[in-house]
Structure 1
Amino acid sequence: MPPRTALSTPLRAWRCPQCTNRAFSITARAQAVGPEHPRYLPIQEPPQQTLPDRKFIKGRLPVPRDIFVGARGQDKSEDAWLEKAIQTPQRQSTAKAGSREEWKAKMSEMRRENLRAGLKSLRIRRTRDEDRRRERSERRQREHEELVSRPEREDERLTAPSHGLDLETLYKGDVTDPTRTARLEQKRLNLQAQTEKSQDERLSALNTLYLRARSFIVTPQQLDKAVDEAFGTTENPVSFVNVEQRDVGSVWAYGRPEKVQDMLNRANRVGGRSAMSASGSAGYSSINKERIRKIAEVLTEGKIAS
């Protein structure tokens, strides 16, 4: 086998066609148009209408006639017109049974009855339809008049582009207010009443503070006296001693502490045996004293020391 000859042109390295031919833009070539093109922005378009157009009919259809109006303007559904239009034979039929003449007489009578019943039923149906149509029209008319005459809502009036306000006066002048004088007078009375109420409360608080300040400790001598009364002196200290039980160092030497119910009865002045038992023999006098003190406070409009 003879040796292969050298190639005239050198071989190039293999490259991937997908990587080589890939464009730098992700936009399709069909959409790669300039900003001046109408299809620069992709907008969804509705599908084309495939329904055929309505067929054009030449000429003009006649106006349907009124089947109840006769030639002379009479109403065909009335009994007078029916009696004239549907005339019964004056002479009695003498046709044999089962003959053609008998069959023709029966058919004529059936046509007369069908015409009378058909006109009557059509008149009833037409009257019913007209009544329904009139009621529907009147109802819609009433609804329309109600909507038209309904006052404008406040939010619509304030947010409407044309509100009818005088902007020149609103921006540069005073807005006319017919109730301004009455409102200012009412506000002045309210302020005066609130001021008087605050002043009365302040005076009552000052009076109460003055009465309660009698027991305040403000000097060293008063402090020493209060300490001696609570704990005693060095020579005679306060001790909890029960003479009967010889119990030393217990607060129970002065008796049992007061119950919560006893304090509630004394605070609420509950009438009955509980209040009397809590106050002891002097229950009535203490209750009357407290009542008289409250009455005097109401009359003098000030606090009184108990």
Structure 2
Amino acid sequence: MSAVRSARAANVQARGFSTTSTNLRAGPESPHFIEIPRIIQPSNPIKPKVKGTLPVPREIFPARRTDKPSPQYLEAVSPARTTKPSRSADKLERGQQLFNQRMADRRRSHLRESLSVLHQRKRAAENTVFNRSKASQERRQRILDQPEPEDERLTRPSVVAAMLAPNDTFLRDANRDQRLAFSKARLEAKQAEKQAQQQDDIHSLYMNARTFITTEEQLSAEIDRVFPDGLNDAWRNDHQPGENVWNLGTPQTVQSIVNETRKSETARWDVTQDRVKQLGEQITGGKL
């Protein structure tokens, strides 16, 4: 009875499909483990998805560098060799020097040739685009200038020629003069406002010019004053010497400044003085 069960189990485990030699070598986890009929007509090949994006190619001959394809630029970017190989007693070293010089000469020639060829290619591409655009414009103009087809003229409704609108007819703007006058006045107002702001900026610059740093000596003196060698008396407090700006405390925040104007009488006095100064500037029309 046990022999019958073993034979039945063996029959159940046997696969009911055929496998080739390739499928026999493939494991159960491979998609080729089971042979599936293939279609006769192959499907379209799937284009592989390329990850990332290509960078924008750099403009080799920009508009601001018109001297690039000139012989002077080529001579400046690849100057001729001025040194000669040293007459060393070591033949190996002399051969290495000669090889390096040949490679340098080859790089110079390749650079000059590549710049010339690229410039010719760019000119050819620009001429192709220009000729194509010119031909398209000429074709469009010929289509616009051609007479009306005879079949359309004979089959269109009968209308008196005097009643037909000419080709250059356009609707007149009834409020054109009023709109232009309003635009002109608005432009003049903006120009006057801009000029007034410019004059105010110039006056402010004149009033504050005495505190500007215009020379290297003034800059050096200011740096030495703010960052002196050794201890700085301006950074000294009751507990620590003036070796660090953090001795004066953390910088003020907006909230601390607002609260200080409420608590300190000196701060309120400074705010009042600033407001009076701004009021005087508005009355006199200049900086104080």
TM-score range, shorter chain: 0.3 to 0.5
Larger radius of gyration: 1
More helix by share: 2
* TM-score, normalised with respect to structure 2: 0.36
